[in-house]
C-alpha cells in the first residue's frame, strides 16, 4: 500500500463524515485513519484504553484519502486498531465502521508544547509521514495560533522557506525540489524527498556551515565528499 497510489480528494472524505451538535464526529461510511507508529515515542500518540493522537493523519475511504493537519491532540474511538507497513514505515491503522464515532468531540484543547514537538519530529528530525506532500509541509503550522495559542511568525514565509529547504529532488538530494519541477502538480507524479532540517550532510550549503554544525564528523565527511566551489556570503563575512 502506498499513499501515492491513492486519489487525494478532500471532498470525498468530507462527504463520508458528519458532525453532530456538540462536536461529535461520525463516520457515515467505513473509513480508516493512519498515523505513524513512531509518533507514540514522541508523545504525539497515546495508544491505550483511550486513543489520543496528534491531528496530523491521513483519512482513507476506499482508495481516496485526505490529510488532517490539526496541531492538537484528538481522541479517536476506532472499531479496531492494527499496525501496518506503508512504504516500509509502520503506521497505526484505526478502522471505523459506518455509524461509528470517529471523535467524541472535535472542540480540541490548546497545548502550546505541541508546536515544538511536531517541529522536532517532522521538520528537525525529517520524519515526514508518507501522506504529507510538499505543500502540506509548508502549511503544517498554519493552525498553531488556533490550536496551540502560539505565534511562530508574523507570516508563514519563514516556515515555507524551511519546508522548501528540506524538500529535495529524489534523484539528487543536493538539488532543491523547487529546481526539479515545473509546476506544483508535478509532486503527484514525482513527489519530493525530505531531509531533516538538522541534517548537516545535506542541509549545509558551504564548508564553514558543515564544520561549525553540531555533527562534526558528518560535517567533515560532507565537506570532503561535496567540496564548495565558491565562498558564500556568510563565509566571506565570517572570514573578514
Q: Which three cell numbers stand for residue 75?
A: 481522541
Q: Which three cell numbers stand for residue 79?
A: 472499531
Q: What is the percent of the chain where pLDDT is above 90? A: 42
Q: For the segment 167-191, what is each residue's pLDDT rounded down to a tens digit?
A: 888 888 878 888 887 877 777 778 8
**Residue 139 scores a pLDDT above 70:** yes
Gap between the Cα atoms of 123 and 117, Å rounded: 10
pLDDT of residue 154: 81
User: Do the Cβ atoms of 101 and 19 come closer than 8 Å?
Assistant: no
Gap between the Cα atoms of 8 and 16, Å rounded: 14
Q: What is the pTM of this model?
A: 0.81
Query: Nearest CA to 199 among 180, 181, 224, 173?
Result: 173
Query: Nearest CA to 90 among 128, 37, 54, 41?
Result: 37
**Residue 129 scores a pLDDT above 70:** yes
User: Do the Cβ atoms of 175 and 106 come closer than 8 Å?
Assistant: no
- The H or E element containing residue 173 is strand 172-176
Query: What are the distances in angstroms from CA 223 to CA 60, 86, 101, 233?
Result: 43, 34, 54, 17
**Residue 204 scores a pLDDT above 80:** no
**Residue 237 scores a pLDDT above 90:** no
Higher pLDDT, 67 or 142: 67
pLDDT of residue 220: 54
Gap between the Cα atoms of 217 and 223, Å rounded: 10
Gap between the Cα atoms of 136 and 83, Å rounded: 24
Q: For the segment 110-123, what is each residue's pLDDT rounded down to a tens digit?
A: 888 899 999 999 99
Mean pLDDT for the chain overall: 84
pLDDT of residue 189: 76
Q: Where are the alpha helices (DSSP H) in the chain?
A: 10-15, 113-118, 134-138, 157-166, 200-203, 207-212, 216-225, 233-239
**Residue 212 scores a pLDDT above 80:** no
Higher pLDDT, 231 or 168: 168
User: Do the Cβ atoms of 174 and 202 come closer than 8 Å?
Assistant: yes
Amino acid at each position: 500500500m502506498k499513499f501515492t497510489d491513492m486519489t487525494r480528494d478532500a471532498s470525498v472524505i468530507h462527504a463520508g463524515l458528519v458532525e453532530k451538535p456538540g462536536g461529535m464526529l461520525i463516520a457515515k461510511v467505513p473509513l480508516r485513519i493512519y498515523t505513524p507508529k513512531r509518533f507514540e515515542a514522541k508523545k504525539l500518540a497515546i495508544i491505550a484504553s483511550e486513543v489520543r493522537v496528534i491531528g496530523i493523519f491521513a483519512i482513507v475511504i476506499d482508495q481516496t484519502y485526505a490529510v488532517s493537519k490539526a496541531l492538537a491532540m484528538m481522541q479517536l474511538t476506532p472499531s479496531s486498531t492494527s499496525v501496518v507497513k506503508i512504504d516500509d514505515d509502520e503506521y497505526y491503522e484505526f478502522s471505523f465502521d459506518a455509524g461509528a464515532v470517529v471523535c467524541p468531540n472535535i472542540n480540541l484543547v490548546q497545548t502550546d508544547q505541541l508546536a515544538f514537538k511536531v517541529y522536532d519530529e517532522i521538520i528537525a528530525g525529517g520524519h515526514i509521514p508518507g501522506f504529507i506532500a510538499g505543500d502540506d509541509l509548508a502549511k503544517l503550522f498554519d493552525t498553531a495560533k488556533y490550536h496551540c495559542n502560539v505565534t511562530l511568525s508574523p507570516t508563514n514565509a519563514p516556515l515555507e522557506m524551511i519546508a522548501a529547504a528540506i524538500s529535495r529532488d529524489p534523484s539528487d538530494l543536493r538539488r532543491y525540489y523547487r529546481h526539479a519541477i515545473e509546476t506544483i502538480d508535478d509532486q503527484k507524479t514525482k513527489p519530493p524527498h525530505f531531509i531533516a532540517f538538522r541534517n548537516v550532510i545535506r542541509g549545509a550549503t558551504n564548508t564553514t556551515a558543515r564544520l561549525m554544525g553540531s555533527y562534526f564528523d558528518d560535517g567533515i565527511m560532507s565537506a570532503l565528499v561535496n567540496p564548495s566551489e565558491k565562498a558564500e556570503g556568510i563565509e566571506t563575512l565570517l572570514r573578514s
